[in-house]
Structure 1
Amino acid sequence: MFNKETLIQELNFKAIRSSGSGGQHVNKVSSKIELTFNLVESLVFNEEQKIRLQNKLKQRLTKDGCLILQCDESRSQHKNKELAIKRFLELIRVGLIIPKKRIPTKIPKAVIRKRLKNKRNLSDKKTNRKKPDID
């Protein structure tokens, strides 16, 4: 499908200070990772794959075709980098999947007959509950 090593080399990483409350340590350590990937300028994918990814990831892409992922789950910058790369590769893998075309199946005649027979039986059961018509 695609070469993971060359794809990872195209990624840009930036370490940022994590937001939220914390002690003295959180104010001086940049453990949050921001991963940036420019889909338009990528050399790993061909044009068809780029179009497919643009369609699948259009909610996540910026106006100039960049994908930005942030990860601040761990206190470790290295762990956050690994998590961001894993998420990115999973997004790309899912984005490149070509869905199978659905072939509509024909309903067998026996199934239709059985359904109509059950409807008829239920209808007869309900009509038998009524009081008889005396004319």
Structure 2
Amino acid sequence: NTTDSRVELSFDLGGSPSVPETLRERALARLAGRLVGGVLTVTASEHRAQLANREAARERMAALLREAVAPPPKPRRATRPSRGAKERRLAEKKRQSQRKRDRRVDGD
């Protein structure tokens, strides 16, 4: 049943004139593993109705392209742990080492 209603949707990302050049380069770089000759293919077979699979494939294709052309995230600003965080970490390390020391049988 689902093989009869399976849908494949293809989009020529490399040769499409509707995608601006900067976005095309970004999308080609991010989707490099999924492209075959610059063409992005999405399949959908989770529904029994072919129309539902067509809609699912369209949504999946749109989500993939939207994610691929999204601007890169801002670089992370380096931060340092607070003094309280350092003290809590060291106190927990001391508690853990004491706990393990208490478990020893030979009394070292």
TM-score (norm 1): 0.58
> What CA distance in whole angstroms lies between the structure 2 residues aligned with 1:89 and 1:99?
20
Which structure has more RCO (C-alpha within 8 Å, separation ≥ 6)?
Answer: 2
* Match status 1:87 vs 2:87: no
* Equivalent residues, number: 102
Deviation of 1:99 after TM superposition, in Å, equals 2.0
Deviation of 1:109 after TM superposition, in Å, equals 2.8
Give the unaligned 5+ runs of structure 2.
none
Given the alignment, which residue of 30, 49, 68 partners 1:56? 30
Give the unaligned 5+ runs of structure 1.
1-17, 20-25
| Superposition map of 1:55-74 within 5 A | 55-62=29-36, 64-74=37-47
> What CA distance in whole angstroms lies between the structure 2 residues aligned with 1:36 and 1:52?
19
Q: Which has the larger radius of gyration?
A: 1
**1:77-121: CA deviation from partner (whole Å, max 9, x where unpaired):** 222211110110011112222223111211223433444455567
Given the alignment, which residue of 33, 39, 46 partners 2:7? 33
Q: Give percent identity, aligned residues only.
A: 30
> What CA distance in whole angstroms lies between the structure 2 residues aligned with 1:87 and 1:94?
11
**RMSD over aligned Cα atoms:** 2.9
> What CA distance in whole angstroms lies between the structure 2 residues aligned with 1:71 and 1:89?
13
> What CA distance in whole angstroms lies between the structure 2 residues aligned with 1:120 and 1:33?
60
> What CA distance in whole angstroms lies between the structure 2 residues aligned with 1:67 and 1:35?
8
SS at match of 2:35: coil
**1:17-57: CA deviation from partner (whole Å, max 9, x where unpaired):** x64xxxxxx5xxxx322211000112232222112211221
* Match status 1:75 vs 2:48: yes
